[in-house]
Amino acid sequence: MYRSHVLVCGGTGCTSSGSQQIMETLKAEIEMNGLTEEVSVVQTGCHGLCALGPIMIIYPDATFYSMVKVEDIPEIVSEHLLKGRVVTRLLYNETVTPSGNVKALIDTDFYKKQHRIALRNCGIINPEVIEEYIGTGGYEALGKVLTEMTPDDVIQCLLDSGLRGRGGGGFPTGLKWKLAKQNDADQKYVCCNADEGDPGAFMDRSVLEGDPHAVLEAMAIAGYAIGASQGYIYVRAEYPIAVERLKIAISQARELELLGNNIFGSDFSFDIDLRLGAGAFVCGEETALMTSIEGNRGEPRPRPPFPAQKGLFGKPTILNNVETYANIPQIILHGAQWFASMGTEKSKGTKVFALGGKIHNTGLVEIPMGTTLREVIEEIGGGIPGGKKFKAAQTGGPSGGCIPAEHFDIPIDYDNLISIGSMMGSGGLIVMDEDDCMVDIAKFFLEFTVEESCGKCTPCRVGTKRMLEILTKITKGQATMEDLDKLEELCYYIKDNSLCGLGQTAPNPVLSTLRYFRDEYEAHIKEKRCPAGVCKALLSYRIDADKCRGCTLCARNCPNNAISGTVRNPHVIDQDKCIKCGACMEKCKFGAIYKK
């Protein structure tokens, strides 16, 4: 029996900051101090507070250390683990009260409004040890459905729960399963979309890294419900930690006969294999994903027929994403009404978001549907750095839209976001402040879409390129108001005529920024001015002669020798030579350089 358990985050974020070296050093120090029999080191998945990694939590007192370095380990071992004295300088400051006492992590602003279902085990268990998953109730839901429920019971439970797909579309999960069950075939398939491709999104990756067995268990339940014996997880190869932990989890589940033939002694057999994606964004679309699993180029197919009728290898197939599956074992165990009691009337349960951009607490959060955007950004996210004003939040990635400050108090759910021109998407939430140019943001997402279009249909292949050309003209101050009208016309044409969801939603970032920030577009066109000072072609750097002290620091740091002047005399920037890199403004100690 260990007296202390040291949990170290082994997710991608913390691993990139050195958590593997921290664990190795920690184990060596524990052995050196004769604590091997008393202290256990546990590698976990993501805790959520990615901005503070590497993260370490020591139980039973739940001491939360943040931004831990390898050189901190000897002090943690000698002081905390050996002598029982907390290393206060490493504590996450939100866990320290004004009186100096340490409060529970669950009581901090970041965690207290969260409700973790999909993320319930992330940061808690070792994802590479199946016994730890079983110890938290893992595979009980699978046992329950095989011994107590019929396939129709399982599907009705999901229908009653109100669970909708967390991959972006929001289609009722139980209804999707019901349609697949109704189609008779000698073989059916269960697929998992783990091809998370939205810029700034890492929700599914974190679930796979922190709790892979939850997805395996849910897929087996799905197989039982629709009559399938084979599952495939389509995961992007750029997620090496997630891929490795899935391989380990599948091997462990097979060894304990939780996958394979006659699971739990029943006549139900089900197995799962991995398929690696090469990072094509279009393979997030269900028919393109299935085409890729079949070994062909990932291109979408016309619908109907829908996958529930004719999907993978021409057989009835269901496809859900990682987060959707992660909810299902808990719904089976706790009941449909338990899940339906959370969220809003039409959007039940919780939603995982990856917070990024201009926000203090970059990381992963899971909140009840109906939580307002203000609560997510100001309370959970800790607000915007530098006292800047909130300008917009981008949800849904390249398929979504921008939510402006006028909708800061909107309750987040599927229908509310669609009503204001955005969408839930898979859960990326990028925060922007007053220094962001909304025209440039729209251009960024269009560049991504143009690059990721499979090229199968003309509206998406050609239309998005024409949109990008117009946006580029606007950011360079070369466009006319007629171009703006043409841009908007193109948006609606592409939405109505593209083959799949990639093209149909590609105009959303442009349409939402036109809807709420048209004045910025017009400033670029009419005044040849970027209000946020972002678009390089429309700005220039100037030196205020009254503030310039002639220190020559700007000239010495200019990479293109565009600044001239003598010591103790005002300097001048040659606009023809200036490459607008901003190095001079960054180095000036007197605030003499400004953007115009």
Domain ranges of the chain: 4-112, 135-340, 350-433, 438-526, 540-595
CATH 3.10.20.30 fits 350-433, yes or no: no
pLDDT of amino acid 199:
82
- Per-residue model confidence as pLDDT tens digits over 128-147: 999 999 999 999 999 999 99
Q: What gap in Å lies between CA 87 and CA 7, rounded to an integer? A: 16
**Token pair in block for residue 457:** 């249909």
**Token pair in block for residue 71:** 């050189």
**Token pair in block for residue 194:** 């783990």
pLDDT of amino acid 169:
80
What is the Cα Rg of the chain in Å? 27
**Token pair in block for residue 9:** 């985050």
DSSP code of residue 250: H
The answer to whether residues 243 and 204 touch, using CB atoms and an 8 Å cutoff, is: no
**Whole-prediction pTM:** 0.93
Is the predicted pLDDT of residue 99 greater than 80, yes or no?
Answer: no
pLDDT of amino acid 107:
85
The CATH class given to the 135-340 domain equals alpha beta
Is the predicted pLDDT of residue 466 greater than 80, yes or no?
Answer: yes
Average pLDDT score over the chain: 94
The band of 198, judged by pLDDT with boundaries at 50, 70 and 90, is confident
Q: What gap in Å lies between CA 332 and CA 5, rounded to an integer? A: 30
Residue type, 449: T
User: For the chain, what's the residue count?
Assistant: 596
- Does the CA dihedral 310-313-319-325 come out positive or negative? positive
Q: What gap in Å lies between CA 22 and CA 77, rounded to an integer? A: 12
Q: What is the CATH number of domain 4-112?
A: 3.40.30.10
Pick the CATH number of 438-526 from 1.20.1440.230, 3.30.70.1710, 2.40.30.10, 3.40.50.300: 1.20.1440.230
Is the predicted pLDDT of residue 102 greater than 80, yes or no?
Answer: no
pLDDT of amino acid 26:
97
Domain 540-595: CATH architecture, name and number where available: 2-Layer Sandwich (3.30)
- Per-residue model confidence as pLDDT tens digits over 339-367: 999 999 999 999 999 999 999 999 999 99
Three-state SS for 434?
A: coil
Three-state SS for 351?
A: strand
10-14, 91-95, 266-270, 414-418: least confident range: 91-95
**For residue 270, what are the contacts with CB-CB under 8 A and spacing of at least 6?**
190, 219, 220, 223, 224, 228, 229, 230, 231, 259, 260, 263
The band of 201, judged by pLDDT with boundaries at 50, 70 and 90, is confident
How many Cβ atoms from other residues are within 10 Å of residue 443's Cβ?
22
Which residue from 493, 336, 325, 351 is spatially nearest to 417, judged by alpha carbons? 351
The answer to whether residues 4 and 58 touch, using CB atoms and an 8 Å cutoff, is: yes
Q: What is the mean pLDDT of residues 273-301?
A: 94
Q: What is the mean pLDDT of residues 415-437?
A: 91
The answer to whether residues 432 and 200 touch, using CB atoms and an 8 Å cutoff, is: no
Q: What is the mean pLDDT of residues 325-338?
A: 98
- Per-residue model confidence as pLDDT tens digits over 234-265: 999 999 999 999 999 999 999 999 999 999 99
Q: What gap in Å lies between CA 379 and CA 409, rounded to an integer? A: 13
Is the predicted pLDDT of residue 100 greater than 80, yes or no?
Answer: no
369-378, 423-432, 474-483: least confident range: 423-432
